[in-house]
Amino acid sequence: MKLTLNEDQLMLQASARDFCQEKAPVSVLRRLRDEKDPLGYDPTLWKQMSELGWTGMAIPEAYGGYAFGYGGLGVILEETGRTLLASPLISTVVIGATAITLGGSEEQKSSLLPAIVSGGLTLALALEESGFHNPAKTACEARASGDGYALSGNKVFVLDGHIADKLIVVARTSSQPGDEHGLSLFLVDKDADGLEVQRRWMVDSRNAAAVMLNNVKVNEDALLGEVDQGFELLDRVLDVARIGLGAEMLGSIQQVFEGTVEYLQQRMQFGVPIGAFQALQHRAADMYSEIELCRSLVRAALNALDEQQEPKRIAQLASAAKAKVSDTFFTVSNEGIQMHGGIGMTDEFDMGFYLKRARVAQQTFGDAAFHRDRFASLQGF
């Protein structure tokens, strides 16, 4: 597969860009933040996104999807990253639909996937238990109980947790925290007895929640994938999430960078545009180079998903992309503020939203250090 966009993808990019710039500019996120919107996203926009087919991008046609592939979804995510569009796209479509497609029973697929495509079902992955990404350390416990399981434990940083109709809960059915073996995934209804979801107000004004499970009873059919074998499925789903988030971050990075270069051309000091100063030129040129590298990694990783390459190869690309994009977002978001001077520090200007988003996205599904370590392990060193 080519590393450049094909004609269909280019058309998709143009329409996604129009939609995001016109319907969902940063001012939408600003309004959600300022009004402390209880949902933290705009359901009307979400409905329009599903009407555009975005929710079915990577879902097989057999289940109502459009099989446009992850390459197409990546193009869209990049555009949503440009305007910091807050929506359940990553939690529901990138993570939820992928988990069901890869791990779900026939029954689960046919009942849930079409509902995702139509925009009628939102999902969230309840995984993290501390402030640091470490899936194998999961301690939340799932005890066999009657015909099913009883889940108990606490989850944090559950993206879109408080607006999800169903949670995908990662829990331990055997072995000890730290072991990859012994994890299982469960689909849990938002109003299950013993389940409490509390919204958290994050610095990037995006949705996250804490989830408390107190002896939450689920039937056998709530199990997603094989019992005790959940880590492998989870890791594959997480790799898709890392790549998808990487695409979104790439969009944000490009937006910040382009805005900054524009400012370098406009802002006059000492009788010249500040972009005339080599001290700034070289840093801009350096960022440009890094962004080009990010673009290649993200594109290669998306292609690898569509080509259904070996999970190990996908994992390497996912970690490479997430590490690189995280580092680049760090640099570009800092430089975006610094190169704008005083104006960059004001809330009225959008730059701060990208800086805040950068740090949250950097830590989501593993930060750069996590992924360099994982990359090394995957490469056998």
Partner 1 sequence: MASLDEFRQSTRAWLEANCPPSMRTPMPQDEVVWGGRNAKFKNPDSKVWLERMAAKGWTTPTWPSEYGGGGLSKAEAMVLQEEMARIGARTPLNSFGISMLGPVLLQYGTEEQKQEHIPKIIRGEIRWCQGYSEPGAGSDLASLGTKAIRDGDYFVVNGQKVWTSYADKSDWIFCLVRTDFEAPKHKGISFLLFDMASPGVSTKPIQLISGASPFCETFFDDVKVPAKNLLGDLNDGWTIAKRLLQHERTMISGFGLSGSRPGKAMPLEEVARQYHNDGDRLSDPVLRDRIAQFKIDAEAFALTSRRSAEEAKESEGPSATSSVLKYYGTELNKRRMELLLQAMGTQSLGWEGDGFEDSELDTTRGWLRSKGNSIEGGTSEIQLNVIAKRVLELPDIMNFVGKKK
What is the rounded radius of gyration, in angstroms, for the C-alpha atoms of the chain? 21
What does the CA dihedral 205, 38, 52, 326 come to, rounded to 10 degrees?
20
Distance of closest approach, residue 198 Cβ to partner 1, in angstroms: 6
Distance of closest approach, residue 339 Cβ to ligand FAD, in angstroms: 5
In 225-273, which ranges are continuous DSSP H helix?
A: 230-266
> Cα–chain-centroid distance for residue 245?
4
- Count, residues near partner 1 per rule CB under 8 A: 43
**277 touching partner 1, by CB under 8 A:** yes
For residues 242 and 302, what is the distance between their CA atoms, to the nearest angstrom?
10
Largest CA-CA distance found in the chain, in angstroms, rounded: 78
Q: What is the DSSP letter of 178?
A: T
For residues 62 and 49, what is the distance between their CA atoms, to the nearest angstrom?
21
Q: Taking CB within 5 to 8 Å according to partner kind, which of ligand FAD, partner 1, none is near residue 24? A: none
Which tokens hold the place of 186? 């469960």
Q: What is the DSSP letter of 173?
A: S
112 phi and psi, to 5 degrees?
-95, -40
Distance of closest approach, residue 130 Cβ to partner 1, in angstroms: 7
Look at residue 205 and give its three-state secondary structure: coil
Distance of closest approach, residue 352 Cβ to ligand FAD, in angstroms: 12
Q: Which stretch binds partner 1 (CB under 8 A): 77-85, 142-150, 240-248, 365-373?
A: 365-373
Site string for partner 1, 170-209 (x = CB under 8 A): ----------------------------x-xxxxxx----
**86 touching partner 1, by CB under 8 A:** no
Q: Which is nearer to partner 1, 217 or 359 (CB)?
A: 359
Site string for partner 1, 325-364 (x = CB under 8 A): ---------x--xx--xx-xxxxx--xx--xx--xx--x-
List residues binding partner 1 (CB under 8 A): 128, 130-132, 156-157, 198, 200-205, 210, 268-272, 274, 277, 279-280, 334, 337-338, 341-342, 344-348, 351-352, 355-356, 359-360, 363, 367, 369, 373
